[in-house]
Amino acid sequence: MVKVQICVGSHCSLVGALNILETLENLKEDYPEQIKIERVKCMDRCGDIKNAPVVKVDDELLTSAQNQVVISKVMERVE
Ligand code: FES
């Protein structure tokens, strides 16, 4: 089971968190038992907007997260 925490706070949402969330939810349809998605309101990393969006894959914190990076981190753990 991979736990993905995605920040859906205002800063992160402004810079693409919801796109990442949508991609993750689509991926979860293929791996319903292996991926757990948790929405978080703020991970306190957005004092510098360059850090947003913020995603945590298990214990690994990703700042300035991009879809492809998040998906590949998740898939590394699913497979
Ligand atoms: S809104 Fe995402 S870390 Fe603060």
Task: Give the C-alpha separation, 31 to 51, whole Å.
Answer: 28
Q: Which residues contact ligand 1 via a Cβ below 6 A?
A: 7, 9-12, 42-43, 45-46, 52, 54
Domain boundaries, the chain: 2-78
Question: What CA–CA distances, in Å, run from 25 to 29, 31, 48?
Answer: 7, 10, 27
DSSP state of 1: -
pLDDT of res. 4: 98
pLDDT tens-digit series, residues 16-74: 999 999 999 999 999 999 999 999 999 999 999 999 999 999 999 999 999 999 999 99
CB atoms within 10 A of CB 10: 12
Identify the CATH assignment for 2-78 out of 3.20.20.80, 3.30.70.260, 3.40.50.300, 3.40.30.10: 3.40.30.10
Is the Cβ–Cβ distance between 65 and 20 less than 8 Å?
Answer: yes
3-state secondary structure of 17: helix
CA of 68 to the centre of ligand 1 (A): 20
